[in-house]
Amino acid sequence: MKKILIILILGLILLNGCINDRRTLELRETEKKPYTCSYNKFNCDDFKDWEEAQLGYYICIDKKGYDVHHLDGDKDGIACEVLR
C-alpha cells in the first residue's frame, strides 16, 4: 500500500512539473509577440480568446507583479472572464 501511495505522489509531482513546463513554454511563445507590460495598453477585446488573455495576464504578473492591463476585474486570478 505504501509503495502505491509513493508512486501516486511521485506521479502527481511529475505531472505538476509537466504542467508548469507547458505554462513556461506558452509564456515564452507569447513573449515573442509584441506585448508590453509597461503601461495599460490592452483590453479583453484585444485578445483572440480567453487563453491568450490569460497568458497575457500571466506575463505581466510575472514581469511586473500586478495586473497592468486590469484584465482581472474581480481579482480572482482569471483574466477576461467574459471570453470564457
pTM of the model: 0.61
Q: Taking 90 as the threshold, does the pLDDT of residue 6 lie above it?
A: no
pLDDT at 69: 96
Q: Exposed/middle/buried for 56, CB within 10 Å: 0-12, 13-18, 19+?
A: buried
- Interhelix angle 50-64/2-31, rounded to 10 degrees, is 90
Tell me the backbone φ, ψ of residue 35, rounded to 5 degrees: -145, 130
Q: Taking 50 as the threshold, does the pLDDT of residue 18 lie above it?
A: no
Number of neighbours of residue 66 by Cβ within 10 angstroms: 10
pLDDT at 39: 93
Q: Taking 60 as the threshold, does the pLDDT of residue 17 lie above it?
A: no
List, for residues 19-52, the tens digit of each pLDDT value. 455 555 565 555 556 678 999 999 999 998 999 9
In angstroms, rounded to a whole number, what is the distance separating the alpha carbons of residues 24 and 37? 17
Tell me the backbone φ, ψ of residue 83, rounded to 5 degrees: -85, -5
